[in-house]
């Protein structure tokens, strides 16, 4: 399983939220990577940052936007047995 975080240069919520996402991913043995929005084709860029994709075996399980910890925890609880929160 993998969390992909789309972030934008100068996005303060992205900068503040990234350590939380990284730690949550590590605790739950989920791969985590970031992608700079500026490196994406314009038509594929989200309008809200940070933006997340939860992937499994290259398939999209769920996507969401914003730096809402409860939203991310809710998404991960639906897809991970024994989800760990700290």
Give per-residue pLDDT as tens, 60-72. Answer: 999 999 999 999 9
The domain locations on the chain are 2-79
Average predicted confidence (pLDDT) for the chain: 96
Angle at 27 between CA 25 and CA 30, to 5 degrees: 35
Contacts 24+ apart (CB under 8 A), 16-20: 16/67, 17/50, 17/67, 18/50, 20/69
CATH says 2-79 is which class?
Answer: alpha beta
Pairing of strands 31-36, 2-7: parallel
Which residues, in sequence order, are CB contacts of 84 under 8 Å at separation 6+? 24, 27, 28
* pTM for this model (two decimals): 0.93
Give per-residue pLDDT as tens, 22-49. Answer: 999 999 999 999 999 999 999 999 999 9
């Amino acid at each position: 399983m993998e969390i992909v975080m789309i972030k934008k240069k100068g996005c303060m919520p992205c900068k503040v939220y990234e350590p939380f996402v990284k730690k949550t991913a590590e605790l739950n043995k989920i791969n985590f990577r970031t992608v700079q929005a500026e490196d994406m084709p314009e038509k594929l860029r989200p309008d809200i940052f940070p933006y997340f994709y939860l992937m499994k075996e290259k398939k999209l399980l769920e996507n969401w936007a914003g730096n809402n910890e409860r939203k991310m925890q809710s998404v991960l609880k639906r897809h991970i047995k024994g989800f760990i929160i700290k």
